[in-house]
Amino acid sequence: MNMSRGLFRAWVALSILWIVGAGITTYFWSETLHGSYQPAGKTKGDVKPWDIDYKKPFYETMISPSAEKLSVTFFSVAWQYKSDWDNDATMAKHDMPDGSRLYMRAAYNEADQNYIVEQFWDQRWSRYGHAATIIALWALVPCIALFMFGYTLLWIGRGFKRS
């Protein structure tokens, strides 16, 4: 009976199952791939987002991203806000072909909304790369740790063999 060969085969089988399960799980439940996002608006001057006077006209406090050719940053929308924002008339919603959804203020004019949607779509590959990195780490690190643990046990066990 070859213990090391049997343990190696068990490790390969468990690793394959783990990696496939991790890939399937993260594909269907990943907020990065199919999540909801919002753009970070840029305010005029040193006004903080929580200090904005929403009674003023929108473009009196906000900078137009399309006019200034700004690079727009996007943040994930927490799940508890999605249903509120779906029913909010002040929010514009854009469903993307990859299953993600983009929320933004409806006060943005059409040129700005199109510019923000285009920026979001152009940045999808960096979001996918970030998600792939997390998935790869989540899938491979436990497999490598299990291999090292098993090999260490075999190494210790071989030290007790008679010569």
pTM above 0.75, yes or no: no
94: left (phi over 0), alpha (psi -120 to 50) or beta: beta
pLDDT at residue 56, rounded to an integer: 83
Contact 153, 29 (CB under 8 A): no
Please determine, for residue 152, whether its predicted confidence score (pLDDT) is greater than 70: yes
pLDDT at residue 28 tops 80: no
- How distant, in Å, are the alpha carbons of 53, 61, 109, 132 from that of 50? 9, 12, 22, 34
Domain ranges of the chain: 31-122, 126-157
Stretch 122-132: mean pLDDT: 86
